[in-house]
Structure 1
Amino acid sequence: MTEVIDPEAGASNAPLELEIGNVMRSSFADYAMSVITDRALPDARDGLKPVHRRILYSMHQLGITHMVAHKKSARVVGDVLGKYHPHGDSACYDSAVRMAQHWAMRHPLIDGQGNFGSIDGDNAAAMRYTEMRLSKLGTRLFADIQKNTVDFRDNFDGTEREPEVLPLTYPNLLVNGSEGIAVGMATSVPPHNLRETADAFLAWLDNPEITTREIAQHMPGPDFPTGGILHDLDGYIQALDTGRGAVKLRSQWTVEDRPRGGSRLVIDQIPYAVNKAKLVEQIAELVREKKIEGVADLRDESNKKGIRIVLEIKREFEAEAIAFQLVTMTQLETSVRYNIMALVGQTPMQLGVRDLFEHFRAHRIEVIQRRTQFDLDRALDRLHILEGLLMALDRLDETIATIRASADADEARGGLIDLLGIDVTQAQAILDMKLQKLTGLQIQDIRDEHDRLTAEVADLRDILARSERQVEIMRTELLDLCDQHANERCTEIDTSLSKVSAADLIPEEDVMLIGTQQGYLKRIAAKDMNRQNRGTKGRSIMSVGEDDLVTTFHAGHSHDTLIALTDSGQVHAIKAYDIPDTGLGNKGRHYRNVFEGVEGNVVAMLTVDGLESVTHSLVIFTAQGLVKRTPLSAYSNATRRGGIQGISLVEGDSIVCARVSKDEPNESVIVAADNAKAIRFGMEEARAIGRTSRGVRAMNLSEDARVVAGDIIHADDLEKAHLMVVSEKGLGKATPASEFRLQSRGGKGVTSYTPNKRSGPVVAATVLFEGADVVLFNDQGGANRIAGSDVPHNGRATTGSAIIRNGSVRNVLAVPPPVEEDQ
């Protein structure tokens, strides 16, 4: 028990007796709520905590926008503490510093000048040394705040007014995220891409019944300013639904060759909020304790251009293997948690993405309504004055006479009210009007202004009366902001380790899958590979080292199952979208980052709808002229770690390509070799055999000849199909498949091409069906995509014309034509 004197009871009365537990609970509850509402949690509408809102508003009031010179940080902090936020100066300065750090904020709201810390955890310089101003986006947070768009409240001592929320145009809580620890609760919202967030919000706005997975197609995951690779998205859909979940973020690295042998592991992106200096120290400690072997040297070569942590790898060790060891033992990979807790009114609430969208929409609509009402009130006030002026101008002589006959202003005001039937405000405006307004042009200006304001008032009233116009204004302003401030995604998304179906996150599109001899694999959208003219140099779509070359590529669909065959005869299967889309120009990913337990290099790829089909077969062609046909269902376990054996290869033989047969009558097989011969025979001659067998003889080759291509043609397609043959120097032509007469399996074939010194030997071939495009790859990573109709059609014993003029041709592929988009 504790004693409390009741001040109203008088000194003579006995003190009150209160239960100390109740007093503590009540006091702690008040304290906790104060921390929650006034410090730790962001508002669901603008995504800002009070300290951040006060810092930004103070800079706005001081006029420190992106269009003026930077001001000392101490000046800003002093203004914030003195007017709005009576707490520690260091805490206030640290909050301002974070809003200026490009590695902390997806879209910084403050533009800092001077030392604002580093990703290594270095503190910013003292506030007396640094300067700041609002960033361009930070300035836009206050658009129309002067038009009564938000409510204001008294500051801590009642001498100033501050906004309860900012009238911002975009969902800042999702775009810039938030972190905070209150009493008994916390919030953790990762940042997201501005354009993606806007697209998701507008999709929800158009269809409030949209599913979470459809929202995720527009906003497929968080987007961190430090980049990295996002995976293990199992908790992402749950986070969008409930506000709670988690994803994993992995560093991005590349492997470079060292001039004197060995390799170099270069880490150029690290997870969000990871201290780079501590990460390097952590790696060095593991190397020093020999928990990580094979690292000859470790350097941090980071500079203003970006992060570059370099590990020199000894010759006998593999850089990719060491990278995966570091992933499991260091902060090269972290877990990013969602706990979307925000204030709705003054109540902390757990929110999903739909809740956030709803609160932002309601806030934005209210801002538009209040702004419109403010403009309407101002326009009506001015229109009221103009109506009085026009009445006076219409009776100008009488108006002047009334004013001249008046003894003073009050008498003149009353006279005008009686004469014109106007009110006091209008009469005073007439008295205040300068004589120059009586000129003809000035009178016309008043009439024009009256007409313009009349139309404006009608428009403003229409906005207030129609919710669909308010929504359209919200949409237009959001898209305008995105056009000015949105940028490309920084964080790559990899769904290969996620149980969430990538079909929920990955768009359906035609893709190209490309592999190299040294084990790099990449996926690009087919639409990114534009058509070019026949005979051009092509364009670079993959970075290939001096000792590397493109060995295989395939056209398919992003949601197909990719079957990959290695040079050891193993078959692996994954979804095509599990291969990261790394964009044009770079190397892509190493096979070991894509396939679990892969042995050897991938030498052939193809895509199928699924592996369970009992009506389709996998047909494999080898360089020594063998063909092997096995039911596709025999490879249903190819998705497991290490894949499964797909063919037994004899020494010196290798897989050239693989195709899928529909097991229908009248299918024929066509095989082309580098000795300028080709053979076509019926599919029934290649009977179905077991998964681990060698296959049967497809073509009888001369001793030094090798098969370069094999394909399957259905009888209905025979008249439309052409065999395209290409030489090393890029000369090629297409010959009707019907010119290759049906023969018995195992023959020597017939002439398919006539090489010469200008063309070089035959190196590649493909079957070209009607309407298809052709992509040629050279040994420098370049490619040329042309319309199949541009390929010259010639007889079997011809050379053809130039298709690509740069480098040596390595492969050719027929791909579907580009989809024509509606205009």
Structure 2
Amino acid sequence: MKKEKKLISINIEDEMKSSYIDYSMSVIVARALPDVRDGLKPVHRRVLYGMYQLGVFSNQSYKKSARIVGEVLGKYHPHGDISVYETMVRMAQKWNMRYPLIDGQGNFGSMDFDPPAAMRYTEVKMQKIAEEMLLDIKKETVNMQFNFDDSIEEPQVLPTRIPNLLINGTSGIAVGMATNMPPHNLTETIQAICAYIDNKNISIETIIKYIKAPDFPTGGVIYGYDGVKKSFYTGKGRIILRAKFHFEEINGKKCIIIDEIPYQVNKAEMINKTVELMKEGNMEGISQIRDESDRNGLRIVYILKHNHNPNILLNNLFKHTSLQTAFNVNAIALVNGKPVQLNIKELIKHFVDHRENVIIRRTKYELEKIINRVHILKGLIIILSIKNNLDKMIELIQSAQDKNEAIIILMNKFNLSKDQSKSILDMKLQHFTSLEIKKIQIEYDQSVKTIDNLKKILVIDDIRMDIIKQELKDIIQKYHDKRRTQINYSDKITQHIEDLIENEQVVLTISHAGYIKRTSLSEYKLQGRGGVGNIGALVSKKTDFFKHILIATNHQYLLFFTEKGKCFWLRVYEVPEGSKISKGRAIQNIINLEENDKVNAYILTGNLKNPEYIKDYYVIMVTKKGIVKKTSLEHYSRPRKYGINAIVIRTGDYLLEAILTKGNSHVFIAVKSGKLIRFSEKNIRSTRRNSSGVIGIHVKHDKDYVIGMICVNQDQQDKKCLLVVSEKGFGKRSYITEYRTTNRGGKGIKTINITSKTGFLIAIKDVTNQDDLMIIKKSGIIIRIPILDIRIMGRNTQGVKLINLKNHDSIADVDKVTNNMK
């Protein structure tokens, strides 16, 4: 009868859990995570040990990579030749390893992630620093284990003298966990280890004074220090890396030159990504990219278009390309075969503990060897120090039948051990000379001292620590180099949008129907007085025209004041950008205007988040009926989504103008009929937002109304003129001193002679000789005129013609371009 098979019932869920745990632990321990002691994964360790066994040292000739791969694959790592070769290639790449362990000859890839040549074409040998990891391995300093088929032994860990895990870092993905450890500078790391040896209670804060930050093989700049500190303290952190750059001018064009890129960035892919952004219109300031990298170093050239700010473009490159990346530190390594997350002090501690264990095992090995040697020397001295003993020994040896009998005779006659007797028989006759006898005595005396020293090493901790320190200092002498990665300790890691937007001068235009846009000031060409102008905008409706223009910079704050007395808050760069011929975007789609309200006034300010700035400034407002109000800018620095109340508007009135002052200005208010009043700002008491104000100018009748207001500082009165413009294109300049100061609430004095030829007064401005005047027609045509082209005339004149008007066209608005905005 056939023997019945025995079936064992098991729970499939338990079996899957058990099998998966076994699999995951196998990956964690035997594949993906490094040992905290030598910083190597099994495949790296096997590659180095295989080369060691083949004798492929730094002072030997190169051997084919295929030879090394075959050795490692056949004896230690049966997981495929590709995995072994890729490991060996990475250990030879200078842009991947801070301190390469393999010296490669041939094509080993590039920073563009080009693949290396096949293993049959490349050659390798060990770097000198890699040999430091294998020193003393034959002195039983580490445990050995059988390979996959139990045919030969391989080391469980290398007795490394260099802190490889810290200086070269590592990365790996296991099951349920991963490790990503950055490299560090060798000199800094060893200095920190020596400081730890001197004081085992050293704080991480003190360690950081030695190891300042990771040091990547490709250099670059660490931007911000918080992530570095967090990774040192916890073993986990996010380090921001940026390219290293400088600016050059090549053939009259500004250029951004990239000298170093962040660690593990694919250079070719990064350049291609930038080219795609250029095609999509996201990098308009770059005209060309050239990769001029060669064997002497990396060099990427970004050639800029004319009139583009390189700093703004650089910030855009940092945001949209891998010129800025993040290295996410996750310091997990195997400690006694278990994965543990480690801070910088723990990493140093485990390395020092390993070195101490290596020194203890090495010392025991050397002690055993030298004790055996002393034992032999002692027997030789017994025989050779006395002449009669030597003669007798020779006689006894000659009388013996064979070697074994001679050994027994010597043991019995001179009270020697078997090893001592055997060594005597193995000696050549030349060692029986008197000179050689003296040498043996000297060697014996020195060996006895060495035994004492070795025993002290095993007993006294401080001696072992001194040995570790001295060996580490020798490493520094051999392999020290300078830090490659710079550190920017700035706390400003997160980019603000302002960093990506150039603070250039722009023209803000607002149409009668409530459309707004932002256009670069450089698009408007300078023309002479009496010119026709050029197209400034396309008007979508016959009833619409561009009413307001404002010269601003992108980073300024823009406050909108509506007819109903509400205030809204916006940054200039938030205004939609448009060309000269575009109509812009409806204001109600940008700010939350009420349906029957519209923007009538606006002011530009500096930083509204600066408490000192907002306390120094005031907002002066004027309504159509001549009511003025003065309020501190501080009350308008915290806007709400649906706006805030700026002024209480009386029935039948609406807000017309708002101006920013410093509290010491003179206020000029003009009305449609050509009258103007001047009074000191100090005559207006500062009130809060929920007030209506006081009378600024007395308006005679309902058909007359305020058309504008300016405020001039007392110390600028001699430098400025008052400019007036009528609706039919006439204008002039007058000296401010022609207008006497009165009390507010008066009727004013004549500022322009109003006739049917000139039309009513529509604008007043305070100008200097360096300013330009921008005039916009209701048809959308804009002209820019130098102020010097407009004559200075008396206040009771009609002025000169500033712009030609055709087909019953008229002027919608005017504004000035100040001398610092050209």
Instruction: Normalising by structure 2, report the TM-score.
Output: 0.59
**Partner of residue 637, structure 2:** none
Show the counterpart of 2:479. Answer: 485
* Distance apart, 1:94 and its partner CA: 0.4
8 Å CA contact 1:193–1:222 kept in 2: the answer is yes
Aligned pairs for 1:212-251 (under 5 A) are 212-251=204-243
- 1:482-536 Cα offsets, whole Å, 9 max, x none, are 1111210000000113589xxxxxxxxxxxxxxxxxxxxxxxxxxxxxxxxxxxx
| C-alpha contact 1:233 1:246 (8 A) present in aligned 2 | no
Aligned partners of 1:458 and 1:16: how far apart in 2? 63
Correspondence 1:219-298 to 2 at 5 A: 219-260=211-252, 262-298=253-289
* Residue 13 of structure 1: how far off its partner (Å): 5.9
Report the counterpart of residue 59 of structure 1 in structure 2. 51
Read off the aligned partner of 1:22 and give its amino acid letter. D
Does structure 1 residue 440 correspond to structure 2 residue 434? yes
Letter in structure 2 aligned against 1:406: A
Query: What is the CA–CA distance in structure 1 between the aligned matches of 2:455 and 2:197, rounded to whole Å?
Result: 23
Match of 2:332 among 341, 346, 371: 341
Contact 2:90 2:96 in 1 (8 A): yes
Segment drifting more, 472-481 vs 225-234: 225-234
Question: 1:162-193: per-residue Cα shift (whole Å, max 9, x none)?
Answer: 00001111211111000000000000001111
Is the 8 Å Cα contact of residues 151 and 165 (structure 1) preserved in structure 2? Answer: yes
Amino acid at match of 1:220: K
* 2:367 aligned partner: 376
Q: How many residue pairs align between the two structures?
A: 502
Cα displacement (A) at 1:294: 1.4
> Is the aligned partner of 1:323 residue 2:314?
yes
> 1:294-313 alignment to 2 at 5 Å?
294-313=285-304
Establish whether residue 387 from structure 1 lines up as the match of residue 378 from structure 2. yes
Q: For 1:587-620, what per-residue CA distance to the aligned partner results, in whole angstroms no more than 9, with x for missing partners?
A: xxxxxxxxxxxx9xxxxxxxxxxxx9xxxxxxxx
Provide the C-alpha distance between the structure 2 equivalents of 1:693 and 1:411, rounded to a whole number of angstroms.
125
The amino acid of 1:370's aligned partner reads R
Alignment match of 2:343 (pick from 331, 344, 352) = 352
CA distance in 1, matches of 2:80, 2:396: 66
- The superposition leaves residues 771-812 of structure 1 with CA deviations (integer Å, 9 ceiling, x where unpaired) of xxxxxxxxxxxxxxxxxxxxxxxxxxxxxxxxxxxxxxxxxx
User: Which residue is 1:460 aligned to?
Assistant: 454
Contact 2:374 2:448 in 1 (8 A): yes
**Structure 1: where are the runs of 5+ without partners?**
1-9, 501-598, 600-611, 613-644, 649-691, 695-823
The one of 386, 397, 401 aligned to 1:407 = 401
1:121 aligns with 2:113: yes
The residue identity in structure 1 corresponding to 2:176 is G
CA distance in 2, matches of 1:434, 1:304: 59
Residues 207, 345 of structure 2: 8 Å contact kept: no
Distance 1:498 1:417 in 2: 82
Describe the SS at the equivalent of 1:349: strand
Paired letter, 1:118: S
Residue aligned with 1:17, SS: coil
1:611-646, CA deviations, whole angstroms, 9 ceiling, x for partnerless residues?
Answer: x9xxxxxxxxxxxxxxxxxxxxxxxxxxxxxxxx99
SS, match of residue 457 in structure 1 = helix
User: What is the rounded CA distance, in whole Å, between the counterparts of 1:159 and 1:108 in structure 2?
Assistant: 31
Aligned pairs for 1:636-785 (under 5 A) are none
2:94 to 96, 99, 102: 102
In structure 1, what is the Cα distance between the partners aligned to 2:398 and 2:349?
62
Kept in 2, the 8 Å contact 1:234–1:498? The answer is: no
What is the DSSP-based 3-state SS (H/G/I as helix, E as strand, rest coil) of the residue aligned with 1:299?
A: strand
1:559 aligned partner: none
- Which residue in the other structure is 1:142 paired with? 134
The 8 Å contact of residues 240 and 493 in structure 2, kept in 1 or not, is answered as no
Distance 2:261 2:21 in 1: 40
Structure 2 residue aligned with 1:26: 18
Partner letter of residue 163 of structure 2? P
Residue 103 of structure 1 contacts residue 226 of structure 1 at CA under 8 Å; is this kept in 2? yes
Q: In 2, Cα distance between the equivalents of 1:219 and 1:407?
A: 71
Deviation by residue 1:199-218 (Cα, 9 ceiling, x = unmatched): 11222222222222211111
Q: Which amino acid aligns with 1:473?
A: I
Structure 1 position 259, deviation (Å): 3.2
Amino acid corresponding to residue 447 of structure 1 in structure 2: Q
Alpha-carbon distance, 1:268 to partner: 1.1
Q: Does 2:72 match 1:80?
A: yes
Does 1:422 pair with 2:416? Answer: yes
Corresponding residue for residue 172 of structure 1? 164
* Contact kept? 2:133, 2:162, Cα under 8 Å: no
Does the CA-based 8 Å contact 2:63-2:123 persist in structure 1? yes
The answer as to 2:152 corresponding to 1:156 is: no
Q: CA deviation at 1:358?
A: 1.4
Deviation for aligned residue 1:121: 0.6
SS in 2 for 1:16: coil
Unaligned regions of 5+ residues in structure 2, if any? 495-605, 607-611, 613-660, 665-712, 716-822
Using the TM superposition, give the Cα deviation of residue 442 of structure 1 relative to its aligned residue in structure 2, in angstroms. Answer: 1.6
> After superposition, what is the alpha-carbon deviation per residue over 1:389-409, rounded to whole angstroms, capped at 9, x for unaligned?
111112212222222333333
User: Using a 3 Å threshold, how does the CA distance of structure 1 residues 391 and 14 change in structure 2: closer, same or farther?
Assistant: closer
Cα pair 1:233 1:498 within 8 Å, conserved: no
Equivalent pair of 2:227/2:240 in contact (CA under 8 Å): no
Q: Counterpart of 2:63?
A: 71
Deviation at 1:375, TM superposition (A): 1.1
Once the two structures are aligned, what percentage of the paired residues are identical? Answer: 44
Matching residue of 2:721: none
Partner of 1:476: 470
- Residue 145 of structure 1 and its aligned partner are, at CA, apart by 0.8
Q: Secondary structure at the match of 1:472?
A: helix
How far did residue 693 of structure 1 move?
Answer: 13
The Cα of 1:297 is off from its aligned counterpart by 1.2
CA distance in 2, matches of 1:51, 1:411: 53
Paired residue type of 2:346: D
Structure with max Cα Rg: 2
Distance across 2 between alignment mates of 1:215 and 1:232 = 19
Determine the C-alpha separation between the residues in 1 that align with 2:288 and 2:391. 96
Take 1:498 and 1:11, find their aligned partners in 2: how far apart are those partners? Answer: 78
Per-residue CA deviations over 1:53-108 (Å, capped at 9, x if unaligned) read: 00010001000010011100000001101000000111110010000000000000
Q: 2: distance between equivalents of 1:146 and 1:413?
A: 31
Structure-1 separation of matches of 2:108 and 2:6: 59
| Correspondence for 1:195 | 187
Q: 1:89 is aligned with what amino acid?
A: D
Give the drift of 1:441: 1.5
Report the CA distance between 1:11 and its aligned residue.
Answer: 4.6
Instruction: State the superposition RMSD in angstroms.
Output: 2.5
> Aligned partners of 1:498 and 1:426: how far apart in 2?
75
Which of 34, 43, 49 aligns to 1:42? It is 34
Q: Using the alignment, how far apart are the partners of 2:266 and 2:141 within structure 1?
A: 40
Q: 1:111-133, CA deviations, whole angstroms, 9 ceiling, x for partnerless residues?
A: 00000000001000000000000
The C-alpha deviation readout for 1:283-320, integer Å capped at 9, x for no partner, is: 11111111011112111111111111111112211112
**Cα distance, 1:410 vs structure 2:** 2.9
2:211 & 2:353 partners in 1: Cα distance?
21
- Residue aligning to 1:766: none
- 1:13/1:312 Cα in 2 relative to 1: closer, same or farther (>3 Å)? closer
For 1:364, the equivalent position in structure 2 comes to: 355
- Name the CA distance, whole Å, in 2 between partners of 1:407 and 1:236: 78
**How many Å separate the matches in 2 of 1:11 and 1:184?**
44
Note if contact 1:100-1:108 (Cα within 8 Å) is conserved in structure 2: yes
